[in-house]
Amino acid sequence: MSSSESDNGNEVPEEVPSDGEDNKVTKTFHDLGLVDALCENCEKLGWKKPSKIQAEAIPLALEGRDIIGLAETGSGKTGAFALPILQALLETPTRLFALILTPTRELAYQIGEQFDKLGGSLGVKTCVLVGGMDMVEQSVLLGKMPHIIVATPGRLMDHLQNTKGFTLKRSLKYLVMDEADRILNMDFEKEVNQILANIPREGRRNMLFSATMTKKVVKLQRASLSDPVKVEVNSKYQTVDKLHQYYLFIPLKFKELYLVHIINEMQGNSFIIFCSTCNGTLKLALMLRNLGMAAIPLNGHMSQNKRLGALNKFKSKSRSILIATDVASRGLDIPHVDVVINFDIPTHSKDYIHRVGRTARAGRSGKAITFVSQYDVELYQRIEQLIGKKLPKFQTEENEVMTFQDRVNEATRMAKMELKDMEERKKGGKRRKRGEAGDDFDDSEQFIGVRKRVKGGGDGNRKKRR
Ligand SMILES: Nc1ncnc2c1ncn2[C@@H]1O[C@H](COP(=O)(O)OP(=O)(O)OP(=O)(O)O)[C@@H](O)[C@H]1O
């Protein structure tokens, strides 16, 4: 960040240098200044030593500095803000002490769980406030005065306006924006402005974290940071070393065919497949299911219970293929994801970094394949520019791929019919509020089919390919 981009127009965030390539973190959590109880809880989670972003951000946060933290996906940013907040809370136990804003509901639950794991045994109470879930139940939890609130902006605002007696004006000491560039986007502008007007300005510490950060001063100013220090583990947008990224240039009409071929070839792996529309996730999930593959959709038109149900089935490995919109692109930490496929190319190139970051997390390896059709070339070039490298082509045998054609065409045709049926049921619909087509998706066991290799292409004995 340059001086012209500094906060409040005049303060230049001081850069903490990353210690470069050979920067093995040799420090322990103790060395960072964390108390024994928190170090022990890190150990219980299997965290042997701090990650780079944790090693750099935690001491500064413990000093009470405002922080802009930028580090690659899966590098432990949640711990980097949760641990110093918990330490401050242990020093001065206070109700409604910290607010964590996140762009998606699933991410809010995940962060809530991380606070519980790190601080629950120390008596820290966390409450998650997200849309699509019961307001009254959440109000009851708020009535118990938790220490930490993790929320999506809209629902938090709803509570600030409508839940009797709930205010953050008196006690709040920490504000974190996770996936800050997304939170500071126009989509959340109104809510974030309202929230900022409803929390204390003085004496509040602020932390912004993301794998991609906006450089726009105006946006950063909105977070009203005070003398922030920028902690940047990588100097440019990087993806982790153990992530193997590929592109596949194919005509639009063959995307389904190639997808089936790749999943079939990599049988035994866990996949997240990104689509650009909610209907797209449904259509693809139905098509794969017609071929006996354990696919489940996740999109913003599904009810929150269905969304959580889909995610849990994927997390517990009872479904191996999650077909999602960008609602799943940020923050979700599901360690066993082996492969990310961008079935539809992301329209915002920064989303690419977040999507592929759903695999190869916390030192593991993973694979990402981006489908590029004849209409996507420009968008793809922008992605290569952003990540600063040319990706290799994903190798496939065209002859083998084509052997699936008849079965995939038939499965796609059936999927379209099923989708139409679902839409018609909805139109005649007795119950829905807004196009919750996803709620009709029958995920009961009888509809799962057998997880078998699709016949028609390749030899049946190929090993798990990663
Ligand atoms: N010090 C550590 N040692 C080992 N594992 C860790 C450590 N800190 C965090 N982790 C684990 O690493 C994984 C990724 O952490 P986290 O979700 O915080 O990443 P992130 O940087 O926020 O990623 P994203 O940008 O995708 O949101 C989690 O499973 C977490 O438990």
Distance in angstroms (rounded) separating the CA atoms of residues 154 and 133: 12
DSSP state of 120: G
Dump pLDDT digits (tens) for 27-62: 999 999 999 999 999 999 999 999 999 999 999 999
Which one is the CATH code of 14-232: 2.60.40.1120, 3.30.365.10, 3.10.129.10, 3.40.50.300? 3.40.50.300
Higher-pLDDT residue of 350, 443: 350
Q: Which of 25, 28, 47 to mutate to test the pocket of ligand 1 (most atoms within 8 A of CB)?
A: 47
pLDDT at residue 132, as a whole number: 95
pLDDT value, residue 213: 85
pLDDT at residue 462 tops 60: no
239 close to ligand 1 (CB < 6 Angstrom):
no
Residue type, 98: A
Q: 3-class SS at 34?
A: coil
Report the pLDDT averaged over residues 104-121.
Answer: 97
Return left, alpha or beta for 312; rule: phi > 0 is left, psi -120 to 50 is alpha, else beta. alpha
Domain boundaries, the chain: 14-232, 243-454
Which residue do the tokens 């029958």 mark?
442
Q: Supply the pLDDT for residue 71.
A: 94
pLDDT at 235: 58
Pocket test for ligand 1, best of 333, 334, 340, 356 (most atoms within 8 A of CB): 333
Note whether 274 and 343 are within 8 A (CB).
yes
Buried residues in 127-136 as b, exposed as e (16+ CB within 10 A): bbbbeebeee
HSE-up of residue 344 (Cα within 13 Å, Cβ side): 17
Residue 240 has pLDDT above 80, yes or no: yes
Cα–Cα distance between 466 and 453 in angstroms, integer? 16
Angle value at C-alpha 182, between 371 and 215, nearest 5 degrees: 100
pLDDT in tens, 226-235: 889 999 987 5
Residue of 51, 72, 178 to mutate, ligand 1, most atoms within 8 A of C-beta:
51
Q: Domain 243-454, CATH 3.40.50.1110 — does that match?
A: no
pTM: 0.88
Predicted local distance difference test score (pLDDT) of residue 116: 98
| Close Cβ partners of 240 (under 8 Å, ≥ 6 residues apart) | 72, 73, 74, 75, 357, 360, 361
> pLDDT > 70: what percent of the chain?
85
Q: How far is C-alpha 19 from the geometric centre of its chain's CA atoms?
A: 27
Compute, in degrees rounded to 10, the torsion defined by CA atoms 218, 222, 225, 230.
-50
Q: Is the complex ipTM more than 0.95?
A: yes
Residues 151, 368: Cα–Cα separation, whole Å: 30
Could you tell me if the CB of 337 is within 6 A of ligand 1? no
pLDDT band at 139; cut points 50, 70, 90: very high
pLDDT (average), residues 243-258: 97
Is-same-fold flag (14-232; 243-454)? yes
Contact present, 36 and 250 (Cβ < 8 Å): no
Terminal alpha carbon distance of the chain: 38
Which pLDDT value is given to residue 214?
79
Question: SS3 for 434?
Answer: coil
Residue 188: predicted pLDDT:
93
Q: With bands split at pLDDT 50, 70 and 90, how would you rate the model's confidence at 119?
A: very high
Of all atoms in ligand 1, which is nearest to the CA of residue 49?
A: 1
Centre of ligand 1 to C-alpha 48, Å, is 12
What confidence category does residue 441 fall into, taking pLDDT thresholds of 50, 70 and 90? low
pLDDT at 456: 53
Per-residue confidence (pLDDT) for residue 429, from 0 to 100: 62
Number of the ligand 1 atom closest to the C-alpha atom of 362: 12
User: How far apart, in whole angstroms, are the C-alpha atoms of residue 406 and residue 79?
Assistant: 49
How many CB atoms lie under 10 A from the CB of residue 145? 14
